[in-house]
Chains A and B, each alone.
Chain A
Amino acid sequence: MQNKLTEHKKRLGTGQWVLIMVMLFFVLICTLPFVNVIAVSLSSKSAILRGDVTFWPVEFSAKAYEVIVGDKSMFRSLFLTVEITLIYTILSMVLTILIAFPLTMKRLKGRRFFMLFIVFTMYFSGGMIPIYLNIKELGLLNKKWSLILPGLISTFNVIILKNFFSSLPYELNEAAYIDGANDFQILLMVYLPLSFSSLATLALFYAVGKWNSFSDALYYITSRDLQPLQLKLYNLIKGGQAVEVAVQEGNASDLSSSISESIESATIIFATLPILVVYPFVQRYFVTGVTLGAVKG
């Protein structure tokens, strides 16, 4: 049996090659635009205007990055965003687990009620001004926690996790009970170790979501020191794009960006790079199979 398995792995059949070709196609259409963005970020303005830049920088110029990096507040924003993302992800995951697990247990009285309780919030929201007033009344305006606490739990993620917990066989639960474990111990020692792939996925979703967000800071933060990275970058890019602004300020028909495309592209790269660096470390939890066949028979 063992030999047959290894033999299988050594030679790549035609099926595998077709698969590789197909996958390569998808990878290309996803990567090439990104490569173009990197090239644009390192090219001169004239070259970009001429339309010469495709996948390689033309008239190499690191000026765009100089502009971004030269702004010292950019690094402060970077560190702030890292800090917020870390705290947020940890808290989110804890709370998501704490609510998903009980909802998995069919014996929980009021389970349906709680499900509806959280699903309702996916659809109904008070609207921007009431939410803003709420944050204000909680005393969170212009404070770091206003970037962490609202939006802490994503009902979507809770449902995904609950769904995954439900797919684990109930026999595990029973076995643990017989061994005298209480609910907390079952969660920590049985369910969590088996859910690495889902947990990694959700942690990634939360982290990336928080990393990319800026609309909360837009409305809750006025102080410079508390501006997350994406907000600064949004302001930088928007500088060249807002048509209505152009009209109002006597710049109507400002069809092209008044900020160079290379800065816009450099901005994207600067904002995405940290995530791309972290990503491979998280990836192994849901790409390679990490399965513990703990069910007997």
Chain B
Amino acid sequence: MTKMKARDKRLQWLERDWQLYLMLAVPVIWYLIFCYRPMSGLVIAFQKYNIFKGIAGSTWVGWDNFKFVFSMRDFGIALKNTLVLNGLDLLFGFPVPIILAILLNEMRTPKLKRVSQTMLYLPHFLSWVIIGGMVLEIFAPSSGIINSTLLHWGWIENNIPFLTDGNMWRFTYVLVGVWQSMGWGTIIYLAAITGLDLNLFEAARIDGAGKLRQIWHVTLPGIRSTIIVLLIMNIGRMMSIGFDRPFIIGNTVVQDYCDVISTFVYRAGIKNNQFARATAIGLFQSVVGLVLISGANFASHLFDEQGIW
């Protein structure tokens, strides 16, 4: 009798949650087929990969690929720039969609609210080639709109080197990034705000809270988990960086500031020629990324937040 009870107890969770496991089944299969199956390719980072012989036929070189890449002087610079630019994006770019979402939510003119939200979204669709052209039109010395207008009015004496001075370039880079992605980010936060219970706002209003207080005490805490989750995920992405934005906006004058890991890989011709080295760099980025997100997640637990896992 006791034996049966013990066995029942152990499988109790299965009996109770079998439906949940059923739900998980199909997605997990998808992950296995499309994500985990090709993952054995990571091994290439440790090989002198021969595309004709495949993984099985290529020779093992251990850490050689990594050693080669890390010893390249430009790699160190690219690494530094990746972290700096991502850090600046996080610092200045992360809060903007949150603020915009709150502002949009507070609008009492529904038509304008909807139109605004749609328009904010537009830059997301412009290809980087077009954005590059616009950046030059606006920020170039002498002929750019900003410089020529300010010079014309006598507000400045010399051109502001938006694109040719290292630090100014970083500013331009972040600015363009914020402009391009703010509409997109707003959507997530708006959805979260929309899900908040209106009764809470009512209660706050009854208690005499003005608009700002309501935002501080109701809206922000309400979307706190969303903010934290996105923050953790952004921290996890600190070691990776897109290719388009630094490439299009960058130039050789500020190479020491604008070269990042993705552009470095492209410039050094690592992409096609040395596939194993590209895989090694990717593996390096992946490991660091995982460490970062784990750290951020752990930190969020320390603050009593749910985190990602």
The A-B contact count (CB < 8 A) is 249
A124 to B41, CA, bound (A): 10
Residues of B close to A30: CB separation below 8 A: 119-123, 179, 183
Instruction: Render B93-128 as a binary contact track against A, CB cut-off 8 A, 1 for contact.
Output: 000000010011011111011111111111111110
Known: A31-B122, A291-B196. A200 touches B36 (CB 8 A): no
Set of chain A residues within 8 Å of B118, measured between Cβ atoms:
276, 279-280, 283
Interface SS, B side: helix
Chain B positions within 8 Å of A33 at CB level: 122-123, 126, 130-131, 134
Stretch at the interface among B12-20, B84-92, B155-163, B249-257: B12-20
- Looking at A18-26, A219-227, A247-255, the stretch in contact with chain B turns out to be A18-26
Chain B residues with Cβ below 8 Å from A276 are 118
Q: Is the interface of A mostly helix, strand, loop or mixed?
A: helix
Q: Does B233 contact A (CB under 8 A)?
A: yes
Residue on A nearest B292 in the bound complex, by CB: A123
Q: Is B23 an interface residue (CB 8 A)?
A: yes
Contact count band on A: 35 or more
Per-residue CB contact flags for chain B residues 274-286 toward chain A (1 = under 8 Å, else 0) read 0100110011001
Indicate if B194 sits at the interface (CB-CB under 8 A).
yes
B244 at the interface (CB under 8 A from A): no
Which residue of the partner chain A has the closest CB to B138? A33
- Residues facing A in B185-199 (CB within 8 A) are 187-188, 190-192, 194-199
Does B42 belong to the interface (CB within 8 Å)? yes
Contacts of A119 in B (CB 8 A): 293, 308-309
B154 within 8 A of A: no
Contacts of A200 in B (CB 8 A): 191
How close is A4's CB to chain B, nearest CB, in angstroms?
9
A189 at the A/B interface (Cβ < 8 Å)? Answer: no
**Distance (Å) between the CB of A240 and the closest chain B CB?**
9
Give residues of chain A (94-148) contacting chain B, Cβ–Cβ below 8 Å: 95-96, 98-99, 101-102, 105, 107-109, 112, 114-131, 133-134, 138
CB of A275 within 8 A of chain B? Answer: yes
Complex Cα distance A268/B133, Å? 14
- Given known A102-B24, A124-B42, contact A152–B282 (CB-CB < 8 A): no
Quick check: A9 and B108 within 8 Å, CB to CB?
A: yes
> Which B residues are closer than 8 A to A by beta carbons?
13, 16-17, 19-21, 23-24, 26-28, 30-31, 33-42, 44, 51, 55, 100, 103-104, 106-110, 112-127, 129-131, 134, 179, 182-183, 187-188, 190-192, 194-199, 211, 225-226, 229, 233, 236, 275, 278-279, 282-283, 286-287, 289-290, 293, 306, 308-309
17 chain-A/chain-B pairs, Cβ below 8 angstroms = A16-B107, A24-B116, A26-B182, A99-B24, A102-B21, A122-B236, A126-B38, A133-B38, A133-B41, A138-B33, A184-B19, A195-B195, A208-B124, A237-B127, A279-B118, A285-B194, A293-B198
Q: Which 7 A-B pairs have the closest CB atoms?
A: A130-B41, A126-B41, A126-B38, A115-B309, A99-B27, A102-B20, A183-B19
